[in-house]
């Protein structure tokens, strides 16, 4: 089995303990690689390498840092097929979507933050008596902790702004999907990133993740993952007054009004509900449909869900792959069972499905639609993070807003109506960090990204990410 290694000080290193654990290919349901079970000793090596590299990287002109990031982007694009195949085997997302989204957004993230590195600057202020300016300065050695659902996309989204701003990074990818982070680390030296500037440590959240959070020489942590883990990290970081950025779960509403374009909306709601097997924090898992269009919309939505092509994720035509892990498949199936006990009726899907051939042991779940659940039930309150959408009718605009806001999460929402004024009114009232109008997941990387309520703390994206990874110093003099 292939052994993944850590990347410390510009070198591939085995974990000090010599311990590894297995990672699975979810499409076949079997282990295929070994992951370092890193711990505090590995972290000490990485922090020492990063501290040593920091002064020179901080003092490298922004254009120089940008060049290294762009080189890395070029190398990803050159080997996009290899990266996409690796991501597909590691995560289960169909290869076509891995290429178009996970990998190409990975390189786009690097290019975007390369540009931001050059654009980023402080502010100037002037009164009659005082003139001031600010210097945003990098923090030193910072950490990023990323999840398994969009491995390459979220890994790069987090470390690129940290490097762009002049920090050295300890990056911890998810132990469930470590492969493309490992492949990327293999390219760092050739891209011109000096040794120690970018370090990748693999391992379990409870070991290396907790060690990173507790380390006194890491003043900032950018985390994307589950709300429970985010809360643990927030508490640990508070003890040392570390900066944290938390991008957590969602239970996002898709709100469809009577005057929405039925076909366009059904298509959008399918993408929102089932992209990446529903394993995206932005997925629209609660479908709220106004009563005048409810029955027609439901029919169109079910018909489209049944057309989604489930299969071997390595085949170009496959649209729906396996869940990321056996444990996660079981969790999602448990939620489908719970939803039924809570009174829900499964309109389509609802079961594990067996894909013939090489994937017969894979962890697949059918796209599932459930009707008849009250908003207060657990299936409508908790993040299932699978291909499961609940559908319910509403009468008025106010009721739609109340239902949309009736959960503890507040990451994203989509609102579907041909009435622009209504779309704006509803968007203003929905409690979430992002609202899409007549679309889903349309992303301009300059826009703020993050949630309210239990969906997170802080904003990523654009210059806000560089602001997180810097502290502003104010310099004033008498004019
Ligand atoms: O993620 P975790 P899990 C949600 C989704 C999912 C649930 C649990 O609902 O079912 O979270 O998933 C690291 N200190 N999302 O348990 O634990 C871990 O190693 C420091 C939503 O797989 O949040 C990994 O690198 N780090 C989500 C990262 O945290 C720790 C994406 C994320 O893992 C740690 C993924 C600790 N104590 C899951 N414990 C989204 N917002 O997109 C774990 N980690």
- Reported as a single tens digit per residue, the pLDDT across 101-157 is 999 999 999 999 999 999 999 999 999 999 999 999 999 999 999 999 999 999 999
Q: Which ligand 1 atom minimizes the distance to the CA of 455?
A: 41
Ligand 1 neighbours, Cβ below 6 Å, are 145-149, 172, 174-175, 204-206, 209-210, 213, 224-226, 229, 232-233, 247-249, 281, 383, 385
Does 278 reside within a domain?
Answer: yes
Whether the CA torsion 418, 420, 424, 426 is positive or negative: it is: negative
What spacing in Å lies between the alpha carbon of 417 and ligand 1's midpoint? 35
Domain membership of residue 448 (yes or no) is no
Between CA 68 and CA 220 the distance in angstroms is 23
Does 81 reside within a domain? yes
- Concerning whether 281 is annotated as a catalytic residue, the answer is yes
Enumerate the β-bridge partners of residue 21: 35
pLDDT, residue 232, reads 97
Quick one: 195 and 261 in the same domain?
no
Q: From atom 26 of ligand 1, which residue's Cα is the shortest distance away?
A: 209
| Exposure class string for 372-394: b at 16+ Cβ within 10 A, else e | ebebebebbebbbbbbbbbbbbb
* Boundaries of domain holding 403: 253-443
Kindly list the strands in the beta sheet with 130-138, ordered across the sheet, starting from the edge strand earlier in the chain: 124-126, 130-138, 470-478
The 10 Å Cβ neighbour count of residue 446 is: 14
Return the pLDDT at 402. Answer: 98
Same domain, 317 and 426: yes
pLDDT at site 213: 97
- Closest Cα to residue 155, out of 211, 199, 192, 97? 199
Q: Are residues 69 and 184 in the same domain?
A: yes
pTM here is: 0.97
The enclosing H or E element of 234 equals helix 227-239
Task: Provide the CATH number for the domain around residue 239.
Answer: 3.40.605.10
Q: Cβ–Cβ contacts within 10 Å for residue 130, how many?
A: 11
- Per the CB < 8 A criterion, the answer to whether 128 and 174 are in contact is no
Residues 243 and 269 occupy one common structural domain = no
Residue 463 lies in a domain: yes
User: 429 with 302, same domain?
Assistant: yes
Q: Which of 453, 21, 418 is nearest to 259 (CA)?
A: 418
- pLDDT given for residue 184 in this prediction: 98
Q: Cβ contacts of residue 412 below 8 Å, gap of 6+?
A: 250, 252, 281, 282, 284, 432, 433, 434, 435, 436, 451
Considering the domain architecture, whether residues 430 and 459 belong to the same structural domain is answered as no
Q: Are residues 56 and 121 in the same domain?
A: yes
Q: Which residues does the chain have with pLDDT short of 50?
A: none
Q: Are 268 and 250 in contact (CB under 8 A)?
A: no
The alpha carbon of 205 and the centre of ligand 1 are apart by a number of angstroms equal to 8
For residue 411, the ligand 1 atom closest to its alpha carbon is 41
Q: Phi first, then psi: give them for residue 15, nearest 5 degrees.
A: -65, 145
Residues 377 and 459 in one domain: no
Cα-Cα end-to-end distance for the chain: 67
SS3 258: coil
Determine the Cα–Cα distance for residues 104 and 77; give it in Å rounded to an integer. Answer: 7
Indicate whether 99 belongs to any domain.
yes
pLDDT at residue 296, rounded to an integer: 98
**Domains of the chain: total:** 2
438 burial (CB, 10 Å; 0-12 / 13-18 / 19+) is middle
Whether 369 is in a domain gets the answer: yes
- How distant, in Å, are the alpha carbons of 22, 43, 127, 275, 284 from that of 321? 21, 35, 60, 10, 18
Pick the catalytic residue: 281, 283, 366, 460? 281
**Same-domain check for residues 243 and 275:** no
* Residue count of the chain: 479
Same domain, 270 and 342: yes
What CATH code is carried by the domain that includes residue 394?
A: 3.40.309.10
Question: What is the maximum alpha-carbon separation in the chain?
Answer: 77
Ligand 1, from 155, 205, 381: best to mutate by most atoms within 8 Å of Cβ?
205
* Domain annotation covers residue 450: no
CB 164 within 8 A of CB 63: no
Which H helix or E strand runs over 471? strand 470-478
What pLDDT is recorded for position 44?
A: 98
267-301: buried (b, 16+ CB within 10 Å) or exposed (e) per residue?
ebbbbbbbbbbbbbbbbbbbbbbbeebbeebbebb
Residues 233 and 334 in one domain: no
Which residue is catalytic, options 87, 116, 175, 247? 247
Helices (H), 275-323: 294-307
- The answer to whether residue 449 is domain-embedded is no
DSSP string of 105-151, one letter each residue: HHHHHHHHHHHHHHH----EEE-SSEEEEEEEEE-SEEEEE--SSSH
Asked if residue 121 and residue 103 are part of one domain, the reply reads: yes
């Amino acid at each position: 089995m292939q052994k993944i290694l850590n990347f410390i000080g510009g070198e591939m290193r085995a974990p000090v303990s010599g311990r590894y654990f297995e990672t699975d290919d979810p499409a076949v349901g079997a282990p295929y690689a070994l992951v370092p079970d890193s711990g505090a000793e590995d972290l000490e090596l990485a922090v020492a390498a990063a501290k040593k590299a920091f002064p020179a990287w901080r003092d490298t002109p922004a254009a120089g840092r940008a060049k290294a990031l762009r080189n890395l982007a070029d190398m990803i694009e050159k080997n996009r097929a290899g990266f996409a195949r690796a991501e597909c085997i590691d995560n289960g997302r169909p290869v076509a979507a891995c290429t178009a989204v996970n990998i190409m957004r990975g390189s786009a993230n690097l290019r975007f933050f390369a540009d931001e590195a050059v654009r980023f600057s402080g502010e100037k202020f002037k009164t009659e008596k005082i003139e001031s300016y600010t210097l945003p300065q990098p923090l030193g050695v910072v950490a990023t902790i990323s999840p398994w659902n969009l491995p390459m996309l979220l890994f790069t989204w987090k470390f690129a702004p940290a490097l762009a701003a002049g920090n050295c990074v300890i990056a911890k990818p998810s132990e469930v999907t470590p492969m493309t982070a490992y492949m990327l680390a293999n390219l760092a030296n050739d891209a011109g990133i000096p040794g120690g500037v970018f370090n990748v440590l693999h391992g379990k959240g409870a070991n290396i993740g907790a060690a990173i959070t507790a380390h006194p020489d890491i003043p900032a942590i950018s985390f994307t993952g589950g709300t429970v883990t985010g809360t643990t990290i927030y508490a640990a970081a508070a003890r040392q007054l570390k900066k944290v950025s938390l991008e957590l779960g969602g239970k996002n509403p898709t709100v469809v009004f009577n005057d929405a374009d039925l076909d366009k909306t059904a298509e959008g709601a399918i993408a929102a509900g089932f992209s990446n097997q529903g394993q995206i924090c932005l997925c629209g898992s609660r479908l709220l449909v106004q009563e005048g269009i409810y029955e027609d919309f439901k029919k169109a939505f079910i018909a489209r869900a049944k057309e989604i092509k489930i299969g071997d994720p390595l085949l170009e035509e496959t649209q729906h792959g396996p869940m990321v892990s056996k444990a996660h498949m079981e969790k999602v199936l448990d939620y489908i069972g719970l939803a039924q006990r809570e009174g829900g009726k499964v309109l389509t899907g609802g079961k594990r499905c067996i894909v013939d051939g090489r994937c017969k042991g894979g962890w697949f779940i059918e796209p599932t639609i459930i009707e008849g659940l009250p908003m207060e039930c657990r299936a409508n309150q908790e993040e299932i993070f699978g291909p499961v959408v609940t559908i319910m009718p509403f009468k008025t605009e106010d009721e739609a807003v109340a239902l949309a806001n009736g959960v503890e999460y507040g990451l994203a929402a989509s609102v579907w109506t041909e009435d622009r004024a209504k779309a704006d009114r509803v968007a203003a009232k929905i409690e979430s960090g992002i609202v899409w109008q007549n679309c889903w997941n349309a992303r301009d990387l300059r826009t703020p990204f993050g949630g309210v309520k239990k969906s997170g703390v802080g904003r990523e994206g654009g210059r806000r990410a560089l602001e997180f990874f810097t502290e502003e110093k104010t310099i004033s003099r008498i004019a």
